[in-house]
Structure 1
Amino acid sequence: MAVFDHLGITVDDLARGIAQFGPVLDALGFAREDEDDSSSWWREGETQLILYRAREAGTGPHRHGRVGWQHLAFAVDSRAEVDRLHDVAIAAGWSPVREPKLYPRFNERYYASFVEDDNGIRIEFMHNPPRTDADG
């Protein structure tokens, strides 16, 4: 059983949020369901991600580094998948924060990219294969 059941994210413009999150979550194999003031994506056995329309218009964007949301990391199976998802996100209107690259400050295998949407919501695509005996 997953430890986290769902993650709710509030956006100023729900249609724009769907346009930005949808292609990324579709590319990750999530299915979508719409309600009146929200849309949700899920995969069997995975945490559900829900976008909500802001109760008060004009309260965004979120500012990275302030109290609250930092980022959500999606673990993927390869560096090529990090690159592909980064390109999908950019095509859907996300802004690049950090292009795909190695992050040796985490470890010599950690490869990731970071993107941010119109609401200041930041996500990461990362590949961090297990350490092997050949790693030393």
Structure 2
Amino acid sequence: MPLVDHLGITVEDLPRAVAQFDPVLTALGMERTDGDNGVAWYAEDETELILFPAREEGTGPHRHGTIGWQHLAFAVGSRADVDRLHATALAAGWSAVREPKTYPRFNERYYASFVEDDNGIRIEFMHNPPKPQSD
């Protein structure tokens, strides 16, 4: 059973947000389901991500660093996956916050990129393989 069952995100323009999220979440292996009041993506036996339309227009975008959402990190299998997903996000209209690079302040293996959508939603693609075991 996953630790986090689902994550709901409120967006200003649902069709625009779907156009930005769908290529990224599909590339992560998630399947999309359109509902009456939102759009959801599922990974088999894993967490669900749902986009909901804002209840009040003109209340966004979210500003990074204010109270609330900070970012969501997706762990991927390789540096090439980080690069591929970053490019996929940019092609879907996301803005680059940080290009793919290593983060030695975490460890020498940590490789990540950060992107942000029109709503100020920030996500990270990261690869942090286990430290090699010494004999």
TM-score norm. by structure 2 comes to 0.98
Unaligned ranges ≥5, structure 2: none
Number of aligned pairs?
135
Sequence identity, in percent?
Answer: 72
Q: Distance in 1 between matches of 2:45 and 2:111?
A: 25
Which residue pairs with 2:84 in the alignment?
84
Q: Which residue of 2 aligns with 1:108?
A: 108
After TM superposition, give the deviation of residue 37 of structure 1 in Å: 2.1
1:7-51 Cα offsets, whole Å, 9 max, x none, are 000000000010000000010110011112200000111110000
CA distance in 2, matches of 1:45, 1:73: 19
Residue 40 (1) aligns with residue 40 (2): yes
In the TM superposition, residue 78 of structure 1 has moved relative to its aligned partner by 0.2
Moved over 2 A (4+): none
| Counterpart for residue 73 of structure 2 | 73
Q: Equivalent residues in 2 for 1:109-128 (5 A)?
A: 109-128=109-128
Counterpart code for 2:48: Q
| Matched residue SS, 2:73 | strand
Unaligned 5+ segments in structure 1 are none
CA RMSD of aligned residues (A): 1.1
Partners of 2:53 and 2:133 in 1: how far apart? 48
TM-score (norm 1): 0.97
Give how far 1:133 is off. Answer: 2.6
CA distance in 2, matches of 1:30, 1:119: 21
